[in-house]
Chains A and B, each alone.
Chain A
Amino acid sequence: MDSILDPDVELMLRVQAGDRPAFEALVGKYQRPLVNLIGRYLGAYDDAEDLAQEVFIRVHRAAPRYQPTAKFSTWLYTIARRLCANHARGRALRRWFTLSRDAADAEDDSPDEGRDVADPADDPSVTAEKRQLRRVVAQALSALPDTLRSAVILRRYEELSYEEIATIVGCSVTAAKLRVHRAKSILAKRLAPYAKDAES
């Protein structure tokens, strides 16, 4: 890949050469998309910042071996997706082993609440509705199988091409399209009651 086409690749090559400000620039640019990507994937923002920071640490650690074969964001999101999948597996294992299952369920069933601070300027009822809708959407996403969830999040929120999604999730372009298609169909069923409310 020609690094001139992607300024972030240029920055990453500078990081490889030991340029600390270049790394800080990448952190500044990608912190928001990364935290949101991870928060949506996990269904909660509680661990999202810690994991996003860990992604950047891994980026820095892998810098000496970095090869600019794709867009920088594709590489970054690939690391993030793997870390999220590992984290989700660890969480599932902890839940399986823990005796206080109820506590774990409570943690998992309350996505999106960690930093849900109401804006005082908002109408309280509207805020409550918005919060409820956010919770429903977060739960609908969390209930998707891992493969569908990552594909649909990358498509809907990051607006990535199917080629990029395929690279990140490690499948063919056709499989990436099918995953988004299946995820949309499942979400359409799960969110149907709320879609009617939103319409009326």
Chain B
Amino acid sequence: MTTKPPDALDCRAVQASLADELKTPAGPVERHVAECPACRAFAERRDRAWTLLGALEDREPSPRFAAGVMAKLASAETRRRPLSAPWLRWTAVASAFAALILVASIILDRVGTDDEAASGVVAELDLDVLESQEMLQHLDVIEDLDLLLLLDEG
């Protein structure tokens, strides 16, 4: 059933203006609502729905919530603790670099030997090289932990 608006205002415009979030200064809209059953019903429906949302009442978190946060924090800190002493970092970098040189020299030394056997050895050694490079990359990550965390949250 449609109800003829009592004035010249368009009901859709009135209903949009009625919303408190888009409210215009009082005046013709309020007068229209007071006289227009359709717009009044619209406003009441919205208000009732807003009230019904209150059915989702606040709940208490479990009593162990805060302790759980602190436990997770302690565990995360243990996992993510960077190499704090500078000499430790440099030792790690130097070790990785030495390993890389060693692996590369072994590969070069083996090139030219029996093809089938050599390809297997090279493939195996390549993996070592990759692992060493990964170690180096990992060290970069350790150095740049803050950047990593920032990206993680992004």
A64:B146 contact, CB within 8 angstroms: yes
**Contact among A24, A49, A137, A185 for B53, CB-based, below 8 A:** A137
- Convert A27-67 into 0s and 1s, putting 1 for each residue whose CB lies closer than 8 angstroms to a CB of B: 11001100110011000010001001110111011101100
A28 to B58, CA, bound (A): 16
Contact of A134 among B48, B55, B65, B72 (CB under 8 A): B55
Say yes or no: A198 contacts B48, CB within 8 Å: yes
Interface size class of A (residues with CB under 8 A): 35 or more
User: Which chain A positions have C-beta within 8 A of B21?
Assistant: 155, 162, 177-178, 180-181, 184
Min CB distance, A108 to chain B, in Å? 17
Size of the chain B interface, CB-CB below 8 angstroms: 33
Contact of B52 with A by CB under 8 A:
yes
A54 to B16, CA, bound (A): 39
Bound CA–CA A181/B149 (angstroms): 36
Q: Give the CA-CA distance A138 to B57 in the complex, in Å.
A: 11
Per-position binary interface string of chain B over residues 11-23, scored 1 when its CB falls under 8 Å from any chain A CB and 0 otherwise? 0000010010110
A194 lies within 8 A of chain B by Cβ = yes
Given known A177-B21, A184-B46, A188-B49, contact A61–B149 (CB-CB < 8 A): yes
Contact A31 B61 (CB under 8 A): yes
Known: A31-B61, A65-B150, A162-B21. A40 touches B56 (CB 8 A): yes
Minimum CB–CB distance from B81 to chain A (whole Å) comes to: 12
| Apart from the given pairs A112-B56, A180-B21, 11 other A-B contacts in the complex at a CB distance below 8 Å | A27-B65, A31-B66, A49-B65, A56-B69, A56-B73, A65-B150, A134-B55, A184-B19, A188-B45, A191-B52, A195-B49
Binding site for A on B (CB under 8 A): 16, 19, 21-22, 42, 45-46, 48-53, 55-62, 65-66, 68-70, 72-73, 76, 146, 149-150, 153
Query: What are 24 pairs between A and B in contact, CB < 8 Å?
Result: A27-B65, A31-B61, A31-B65, A31-B66, A35-B59, A35-B61, A35-B65, A49-B65, A52-B61, A53-B65, A53-B68, A62-B153, A64-B146, A65-B150, A79-B153, A133-B55, A134-B56, A162-B21, A178-B21, A181-B22, A188-B42, A191-B49, A195-B45, A195-B48
**A interface, CB within 8 angstroms of B:** 24, 27-28, 31-32, 35-36, 39-40, 45, 49, 52-54, 56-58, 60-62, 64-65, 79, 82, 112, 115, 130, 133-134, 136-138, 141, 152, 155-157, 162, 177-178, 180-181, 184-185, 187-192, 194-195, 198-199
